[in-house]
Structure formats: C-alpha cells, structure tokens
C-alpha cells in the first residue's frame, strides 16, 4: 500500500481494519459449512494479515523515538516466527481445527479492542524528524 494511501486513510484505521478482517475471517472459517466458505474465510484472513503487517511498522515508525527505532523494528521482525512457534506449541491443546480458528478469532478481536484503546492516530513524519 503506497504511503499516500496511508496518509489519506490512516495507518491506525488500516491496522484496525486488518484486525477486524482477521477476526471475521477466522470466525467465518470456524463456522464454514463447506469448502468454498472455508477458502473465502482464509482469503479474508489473509487480507487482514496483509493490512496488519503493512500498517503496524508504519505506526511503530511514527510513534517510536528515533533512537529506539532499530530495536523496535528488530523486535517487530520476530512477530511471524514467534506466531509460528506459538501455533506449533499451542495447537495440540485444542480439540479440533474449529477450536483453533475460534481461538484465533477471539485473539484478533482482543487485539482489535486493545488497539482501539491504545494505538494513537498519528500523522506521517516528514523532514528531519523522520531521518535517523
């Protein structure tokens, strides 16, 4: 997503839309009565994941002090490997694949609520403040 699109829509709003799409996609996947609905729910989840993965670093870049930006982005880069490891460890705890999808929907919904309360709406940085 080009930076001009973030400027007009806002990275916070994109993040919230992504989390909502993940939650809705996971819930619809857990309820899927047939393969076509399941595949559609995965498409919605994937779109939400894309929106989160694009907007979160943009938000972090704007709210984190320039001196802490490198370590912040390094920690952010661990999100996907940590999620994979967590899924591998926690997966056997659940009773079937639908329970995993319900848990994913609940977790995304919780993150949506937390982001709604915690994440500020910020304007893009320009000029010298953006440079490290």
pLDDT digits (tens, 9 = 90+) for 76-114: 999 999 989 998 999 899 999 999 999 999 999 999 999
pTM of the full structure: 0.83
CA distance 43 to 39: 6
CA distance 84 to 6: 28
In eight-state DSSP terms, residue 65 is: -
Mean pLDDT of 29-47: 96
Neighbour count for residue 23 (Cβ, 10 Å): 22
Question: How confident is the model over 43-73, as pLDDT tens digits?
Answer: 999 999 999 999 999 999 888 999 999 999 9
Neighbour count for residue 101 (Cβ, 10 Å): 23
Which backbone phi and psi does 120 adopt, to 5 degrees? Answer: -80, 155
Cα angle: 30, vertex 33, 39; to 5 degrees = 70
């Amino acid at each position: 997503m080009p930076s001009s699109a973030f400027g007009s829509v806002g990275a916070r709003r994109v993040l919230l839309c992504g989390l909502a799409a993940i939650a809705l996609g996971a819930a619809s996947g857990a309820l899927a009565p047939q393969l076509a609905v399941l595949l559609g729910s995965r498409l919605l989840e994937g779109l939400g994941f894309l929106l989160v993965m694009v907007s979160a670093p943009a938000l972090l870049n704007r709210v984190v002090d320039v001196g802490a930006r490198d370590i912040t982005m390094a920690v952010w880069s661990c999100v996907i490997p940590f999620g994979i490891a967590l899924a591998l460890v926690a997966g056997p705890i659940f009773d079937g694949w639908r329970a995993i999808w319900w848990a994913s929907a609940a977790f995304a919904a919780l993150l949506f609520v937390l982001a709604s309360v915690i994440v500020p709406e910020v304007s893009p940085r320009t000029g010298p403040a953006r440079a490290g």
